[in-house]
Structure 1
Amino acid sequence: MSEHENRFAALEAKISDAGLDAFLISTKDSIFYFTNFRYEPFERPFFIVVRPGTAPIFLTPRIEAENMATIAIPHEIIEYIDYPAPAGGTYLEALHRILPTASQIGVEMSITGELLVGLEDWSPRVLPLVEQLRMIKSETEIAAIRKAAKYSDLGLKLAMDIARLGDQISETDRANVMLREEIVREEGRLDPYISSIWQGIWAAPYSAQPHRFPEPEDTLTEGPNVGLSFLRVNGYSAETERTFFVAPPRSEDVEVFNTMVEAGRIGFSQLRPGVSCHDIDHKVMEFLRSEGFGNNLLHRVGHGIGMGGHEGPWVAEGSDDVLQENMVISIEPGIYWRGQGGFRHSDTVLISADGYELLTDMPHDISSMTFGT
């Protein structure tokens, strides 16, 4: 079987284990995951109806039927007229012809509220079956993430090479163009439907606000700056972040920086199959709290990476996830000092049979992250 047929087979097993008759796939990334088909649902619902032991049914608006016929996975196509549509031509009437309302069906966690309301006749169960499958990466997926990690490192390096004391952040925007050109040169394409390239620099003291988008006029001054390369290349994602300085760091900055690096080391030291994601985050947070930074913590240690830049498993206190071989996660403990700046490195990490492998490869030490001095 092809990789995509294997994915359908694995989902069928989960459907049977959950006691369901069918599972409905409806979101952009899940459609791509199961079919390698680039599709944007927009307002016209599209479902892949998966039932154990039978070929999947693609319930599609008529405008998409010809496109859907090109998908290599064995399937059946059932059309509806449009959305909205007159009686006899709606997606719900077509779905009723496939699934009696007595059917036990499941839907994705990320289904839209509108579709969930539309499916109320079936009383669907919202289950993370697809999300669970996506956590474990195939060799093909790992190879794609390796490429993304390489470009993630390159993007951050390009941005930091441009950064100079006194420059506005807009000066580093050239790195985005340079990275796109390099990816196209190496890969032959950067598919806009399943790719995104973003690099940003949070200049101190705004680096203490990791979810404040940098403004073009933000200026690089003394203090900790955080550079982020966050991208998806032809379907798969990676991220690299580093705290860096464009002037000699102050002694207090060195102390906090080194504490952040040690927190990351503690996180890395725990990475292997069978380890609780809660425990990883808890040990890192306990260390940071013991160092006096309890009021300077804004987020968990990490998250999963795959097609999405943020997906399960969640490396966080309270998480039920357990690491398994071929999961890909970030490790990114951060310390945030309002008025001074933020301190965060982030790496993309593959969980291996007996530990982990760093897919991103940039220095962590403060000497390597100090420029222009």
Structure 2
Amino acid sequence: MAQADLQCGDEPNRRADRPHTRPRLRGRGTASPCLRARRRREGGRSGSGDRARRRSRGADRSRSEAGRRLRPQGEHAPGRRGPQADRDRLHERRHRPFRPRVWDSHASERRGHGSHQRIGGVVGADVSPAEVERRYANVREALARDGLDAVIVSGSEYSGFEGAVRYMSGFVIVHRYAYMLLPLEGDPSIVFPVEARYVGEHEKTWIDEQVFVDAPGAWLRDRAADQGWGQVGVYGLDYVMTVRDYRALADDGPELVPYDVEFDLARAVKSGEELASVRDSVRINAEGFWIFLDGFAAGRSEAELLAPCEQYFVEQGCGRLTMDMVLVGENGEAEPEFRIASGERRIREGDLVLPSLEIAGPGGHWVEVSRAVAAGGGAPGSEATRMLEAYEEYFEAARSALRPGASAHDVHRAVSKGFSERGYELGHVTGHSIGMTMIEFPKIGEGVETELAENMVFSMHPHAISADGHACLYMQDTWLVTPDGGEPLAGLPMQIFEGSESRPDD
């Protein structure tokens, strides 16, 4: 596959999409009039309260006929029709409005209105009512811009795909899946399959209308019909929503609009509360690397090296929100395939080991931090040493390129220059926005014209692969976009470690 294709991946704003082959789905048409076209390098600086913006680049989203883009907010408009009657159709909780609140150690006992709400699940980080309203306001702004009546946010226990529901509801998916429904006007809901009734701490979500039904898709379809919604965005339509729920929604339901990019851009700029969570995750992740390095020695298995890292991550409140893999090779060069750490293979002299460490701390924000480690005996090899030179150039380029007003395309060109000039392919996306979902839009890649804004957070990890496909270098960093450029949050030097190095504060 060509490098541009690998960088593009699933980024829908790269080109005009053909009409969707599935029924009840619309493709993308003309750009939204509120997204002003910008020439490359014309972007200005954005404040911390701004949302990420996509530059106009041809087709974006089709518009419905006049009069349907935003419905009049009168007595019978969506969200103004009062609580829905059960009509003996589905077993569910009765309607209760959204109210910010606090939870004590006994989650079922309310303490009334307070300054914080508890996010349930792994350890329960605090999220203020103002932060919840900020998230909802940003998403609703996108819904109004795109002429949608509501958004369905899908989440599942698949690693990295649970975060969007937690971001919008405070609920941590322990098993199975859930949907969060946010209308343009009115109160949010969270919908579970009935078999998930006792899986997860449901009392810790800040959403009052919690619904447990045999067929969540049918419930969502009927809610849309009762509210008169014509067009509903769906986050996770292609990768997260179950087939049975999609079929129920598509059966005479509202027009479904794929909404991954737009939803991710609405949450791309992090608040001060979120950045505190990000920094805590980075602290945990970086310490995990030092633990890996402390135990590194020839003769130990890959699993023996990663096990103490996992123990530390769980002790720090990550729960199971970790994804740890390794890339390993002999003769000073690592093979480019990610794999699960082996309990049988022992580290040998001359091995190059690349731990891939990805975790979400107590606040639920994913980060990625790692470095390569050489096991002596000629490691790193000549190819890895040459790749490290390109990595050093990328690291310095990112400091200046990751600034407000730059496009993701421009950043990609700046940080990948050293690799391409040396003839290396980039076998994995150069970088991507990262938050409560492991991989979010925008991606840092060829042709992606999204404009960066202050307080966006990116995971950067150029996956350099040799021309023969048998050697690679892969190191991860989590970066913050600031007015002065990119800030690498982990503070690790850009180098291939040998195992004898000490922490900076030792």
TM-score range with shorter-chain normalisation?
0.7 to 0.9
Deviation at 1:308, TM superposition (A): 2.4
Does residue 42 (structure 1) correspond to residue 176 (structure 2)? The answer is yes
The aligned residue for residue 234 of structure 2 is: 107
Does residue 134 (structure 1) correspond to residue 267 (structure 2)? The answer is yes
TM-score, normalization by structure 2: 0.62
Q: Which amino acid aligns with 1:213?
A: I
Q: Which amino acid aligns with 1:29?
A: G
Distance of aligned partners of 1:155 and 1:288 in 2 relative to their CA distance in 1, 3 Å threshold? same
3-state DSSP of counterpart to 2:369: strand
- Between 1:59-68 and 1:10-19, the stretch displaced more is 59-68
The aligned residue for residue 477 of structure 2 is: 347
The aligned residue for residue 248 of structure 2 is: 118
3-state DSSP of counterpart to 2:443: strand
Deviation at 1:25, TM superposition (A): 2.5
Deviation at 1:61, TM superposition (A): 5.5
Give the conservation status (yes or no) of the 8 Å contact 2:461–2:477.
yes
Give the conservation status (yes or no) of the 8 Å contact 1:272–1:353.
yes
Tell me, in whole angstroms, the C-alpha distance in 1 between the residues paired with 2:149 and 2:214: 26
Give the conservation status (yes or no) of the 8 Å contact 1:80–1:91.
no
Which of 439, 442, 454 lines up with 1:310 in the alignment? 439
Unaligned runs of 5+ in 1: 184-189
Question: Which digits, 9 at most, give the CA deviation of each residue in 1:17-50, with x for residues without a partner?
Answer: 111222223324222111212245737xx54332
Deviation at 1:94, TM superposition (A): 4.0
Unaligned runs of 5+ in 2: 1-128, 156-161, 502-506
Deviation at 1:112, TM superposition (A): 1.7
Does residue 231 (structure 1) correspond to residue 359 (structure 2)? The answer is yes
Which of 337, 340, 361 lines up with 1:213 in the alignment? 340
3-state DSSP of counterpart to 1:212: coil
Which of 363, 375, 398 lines up with 1:246 in the alignment? 375
3-state DSSP of counterpart to 1:242: coil
The aligned residue for residue 141 of structure 2 is: 13
The aligned residue for residue 109 of structure 2 is: none
- Between 1:2-11 and 1:109-118, the stretch displaced more is 109-118
Tell me, in whole angstroms, the C-alpha distance in 1 between the residues paired with 2:263 and 2:469: 42
Tell me, in whole angstroms, the C-alpha distance in 1 between the residues paired with 2:216 and 2:303: 44
The aligned residue for residue 162 of structure 1 is: 295
Tell me, in whole angstroms, the C-alpha distance in 2 between the residues paired with 1:355 and 1:268: 5
Which of 175, 182, 190 lines up with 2:308 in the alignment? 175
Give the conservation status (yes or no) of the 8 Å contact 1:275–1:323.
yes
Q: Which amino acid aligns with 2:334?
A: S
Distance of aligned partners of 1:280 and 1:76 in 2 relative to their CA distance in 1, 3 Å threshold? same
Give the conservation status (yes or no) of the 8 Å contact 2:269–2:455.
yes
3-state DSSP of counterpart to 1:153: helix
3-state DSSP of counterpart to 2:386: helix
Deviation at 1:84, TM superposition (A): 8.8
The aligned residue for residue 22 of structure 1 is: 150
Does residue 266 (structure 1) correspond to residue 397 (structure 2)? The answer is yes
3-state DSSP of counterpart to 1:266: helix
Tell me, in whole angstroms, the C-alpha distance in 2 between the residues paired with 1:63 and 1:182: 29
Distance of aligned partners of 1:305 and 1:182 in 2 relative to their CA distance in 1, 3 Å threshold? same
Distance of aligned partners of 1:30 and 1:254 in 2 relative to their CA distance in 1, 3 Å threshold? closer
Give the conservation status (yes or no) of the 8 Å contact 1:331–1:348.
yes
Tell me, in whole angstroms, the C-alpha distance in 2 between the residues paired with 1:35 and 1:158: 34
Deviation at 1:275, TM superposition (A): 1.0
Deviation at 1:315, TM superposition (A): 0.8
Alignment of 1:141-152 (within 5 A): 141-152=274-285
3-state DSSP of counterpart to 2:279: helix
Does residue 197 (structure 1) correspond to residue 322 (structure 2)? The answer is yes
Does residue 282 (structure 1) correspond to residue 413 (structure 2)? The answer is yes
The aligned residue for residue 334 of structure 1 is: 463
Alignment of 1:9-88 (within 5 A): 9-27=137-155, 28-39=162-173, 42=176, 46-59=178-191, 71-73=205-207, 75-76=208-209, 79=211, 81-83=213-215
Give the conservation status (yes or no) of the 8 Å contact 2:302–2:345.
yes
More RCO (CA 8 Å, sep 6+): 2
- Between 1:159-168 and 1:339-348, the stretch displaced more is 339-348
Q: Which amino acid aligns with 2:171?
A: F
Q: Which amino acid aligns with 2:145?
A: D
TM-score, normalization by structure 1: 0.82
Tell me, in whole angstroms, the C-alpha distance in 2 between the residues paired with 1:232 and 1:164: 27
Give the conservation status (yes or no) of the 8 Å contact 2:169–2:190.
no
Question: Which digits, 9 at most, give the CA deviation of each residue in 1:231-287, with x for residues without a partner?
Answer: 112211111121221215467243332233223322333110111111222233343
Q: Which amino acid aligns with 2:233?
A: G
Does residue 360 (structure 1) correspond to residue 494 (structure 2)? The answer is no
Q: Which amino acid aligns with 2:227?
A: L
Give the conservation status (yes or no) of the 8 Å contact 2:406–2:451.
yes
3-state DSSP of counterpart to 2:450: coil
Give the conservation status (yes or no) of the 8 Å contact 1:203–1:218.
no
Q: Which amino acid aligns with 1:103?
A: G
The answer to which structure has the higher helix fraction is: 1
Q: CA RMSD in A?
A: 3.1
- Between 1:264-273 and 1:234-243, the stretch displaced more is 264-273
Tell me, in whole angstroms, the C-alpha distance in 2 between the residues paired with 1:178 and 1:147: 17
Deviation at 1:312, TM superposition (A): 2.0
Between the aligned residues of both structures, percent identity stands at 22
